[in-house]
Structure formats: structure tokens, C-alpha cells
């Protein structure tokens, strides 16, 4: 078990951000947690500690949004996610973590910038909802499963598909919560196989576990207080900022 106080000084605020994001506010901002914790422990240790905590948060989230998610959409998103997780498992020894940060960061920045450009060209009017597409959904769900496996960074790829649909904000969050609950629990088996769920990581996660329900409830409370239009504006803003952060971390950490 990790006993360094510096680790907990970084991990506790990072997990608060994850819980608030997963609870339904500041969509995507929780993606910064793994890079932040990786500043004080090796990246593989960071993602190994985080997975049981994410699974615990998912239980709180699923209970809160159990009646507010799109079942038809999940029928094609989940197969895509499992495909992405399987691909990530098979290529785990070859994928560079910095490559994933740069890729996810680039997707997030371009996605948000494209949304704002379309809104600006439309004179500030709300962009019309994009219709569902199984092909796009499966593709972005697979990308989400892949990046979630590598660095718990599955949020931006999934949001590239979900946000333009302009779902009801609670259905949007509920669908995201259910999706990542299944993704995170599916990751337990390959993580254990790769040795990431060792005794030290699990005991450290147990110490941090009380943070999870507190952070989730904070996110759920904020979700209920923010109207729909500002909510989606905040989501796009957070996705953009997170993308910049990941791009910076990925480029600065690239082997010279």
C-alpha cells in the first residue's frame, strides 16, 4: 500500500474531480485524474489504483440515473466499446501512453472547436441536433473503449458522438454513466491479467474509497442545479480544456 502523503495530496483532489464529472457535472474533466496521479506514481500504478475506485463510483451513478438512459443506443454502443477494449488488451505492450494522450487531446480540441465554429457561423444559434448513426456510434464507442482501457480517457471520444445528438441532459449523463459502468467492469479481467490489480494497488484504492460517494453526490447535486443550455456549454468548455491539457502532457512527455 502507498503511504506517501504527497500521493494522497494529489490523488484525493483528482478523485474529487472524477466523481464530480461522473456524477453529471463538468463532463470530461475527470480525464485529468490519471495524468495527475501519474506525476507521483508510475502511470500503470495510477490506472491500476483508479479502476476499482471508478467501479465504486459507477455503482453510485447507476443508482442515481437508473431510469434516465437510452436503452436503444446502448445496444450498439456497448459492442463497440467491447471491441475497443479487446483491441487495447491485445496491443497493450505496444501502445505508447503519450500517443494516447496526444490522440485523445487532439480529438477533444478539434471536436469542441468545430462545435463553436458551427455555432458562430449560425449566428450564435443553437446547432441543430445530429441524428443517431449506428456506424458513427460503434466507431466512437470503440475509440472510447480503447482509450478508457489505456488511460481511463474514454470520455472525449464518446462525447464526440453523444453531445451533437443534443439529448436531454439527464439522459445524456445517464447513458454515459451506464456505458462507463459496463466498460469499467469489463476492464477488471484484462487489468487483473496484466497484473495491474495487485495487492498494493487494491489496498491503496481501499483507503481512497470513502472519497468516491462524496464526489459523486457533489456532481449529481451540481447537475440538478445547472439549466440545460449552460450545462452543455460547460461540457464543451471542459472537453476543450481537457484536450489542451492532454495535448500538452502528451507532447511534453514524448521521448526525445
- Binned at pLDDT 50, 70 and 90, residue 123 comes out as low
d(CA 45, CA 96): 15
List, for residues 162-209, the tens digit of each pLDDT value.
Answer: 988 988 888 988 999 899 999 999 999 999 998 999 999 999 999 999
Q: Calculate the average pLDDT of the chain.
A: 84
Sign for the pseudo-dihedral over CA of 25, 28, 29, 30: positive
Cell of 211: 472519497
Assess whether pLDDT exceeds 80 at residue 227: no
Which burial class, exposed, middle or buried, applies to 9 when counting CB atoms under 10 A from its CB (0-12, 13-18, 19+)? exposed
The whole-model pTM stands at 0.80
Which residue segment(s) compose the domain that 243 sits in? Answer: 5-252
Per-residue confidence (pLDDT) for residue 241, from 0 to 100: 77
Which is higher by pLDDT, 140 or 254? 140
Assess whether pLDDT exceeds 80 at residue 104: no
d(CA 227, CA 175): 18
Per-residue confidence (pLDDT) for residue 87, from 0 to 100: 92
Per-residue confidence (pLDDT) for residue 44, from 0 to 100: 81
Assess whether pLDDT exceeds 60 at residue 256: no
Assess whether pLDDT exceeds 70 at residue 57: yes
**Cβ contacts of residue 209 below 8 Å, gap of 6+?**
52, 53, 56
Q: Based on the structure, what is the number of domains in the chain?
A: 1
Q: Cell 451533437: give the residue.
A: 164
Angle subtended at Cα 237 by Cα 186 and Cα 219, rounded to the nearest 5 degrees: 55
How far the first Cα of the chain sits from its last, in Å, is 33
Per-residue confidence (pLDDT) for residue 75, from 0 to 100: 96
Amino acid at each position: 500500500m502507498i503511504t506517501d502523503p504527497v500521493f494522497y495530496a494529489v490523488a484525493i483532489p483528482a478523485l474529487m474531480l472524477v466523481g464530480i464529472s461522473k456524477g453529471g457535472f463538468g463532463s470530461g474533466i475527470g480525464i485529468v485524474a490519471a495524468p495527475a496521479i501519474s506525476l507521483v506514481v508510475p502511470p500503470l500504478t495510477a490506472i491500476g489504483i483508479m479502476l476499482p475506485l471508478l467501479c465504486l463510483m459507477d455503482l453510485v451513478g447507476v443508482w442515481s440515473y437508473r431510469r434516465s438512459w437510452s436503452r436503444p443506443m446502448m445496444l450498439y454502443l456497448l459492442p463497440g466499446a467491447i471491441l475497443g477494449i479487446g483491441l487495447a488488451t491485445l496491443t497493450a505492450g505496444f501502445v505508447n501512453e503519450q500517443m494516447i494522450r496526444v490522440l485523445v487531446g487532439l480529438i477533444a480540441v478539434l471536436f469542441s472547436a468545430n462545435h463553436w465554429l458551427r455555432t458562430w457561423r449560425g449566428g450564435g444559434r443553437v446547432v441543430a441536433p445530429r441524428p443517431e448513426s449506428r456506424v458513427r456510434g460503434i466507431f466512437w464507442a470503440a475509440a472510447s473503449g480503447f482509450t478508457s482501457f489505456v488511460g481511463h480517457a474514454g470520455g472525449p471520444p464518446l462525447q464526440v458522438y453523444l453531445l451533437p445528438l443534443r439529448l436531454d441532459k439527464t439522459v445524456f449523463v445517464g447513458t454515459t454513466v451506464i456505458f462507463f459502468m459496463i466498460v469499467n467492469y469489463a476492464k477488471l479481467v484484462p487489468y487483473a491479467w496484466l497484473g495491474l490489480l495487485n495487492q498494493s494497488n487494491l489496498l491503496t484504492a481501499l483507503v481512497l474509497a470513502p472519497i468516491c460517494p462524496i464526489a459523486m453526490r457533489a456532481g449529481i447535486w451540481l447537475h440538478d442545479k445547472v439549466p440545460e443550455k449552460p450545462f452543455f456549454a460547460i461540457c464543451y468548455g471542459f472537453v476543450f480544456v481537457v484536450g489542451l491539457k492532454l495535448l500538452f502532457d502528451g507532447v511534453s512527455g514524448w521521448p526525445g
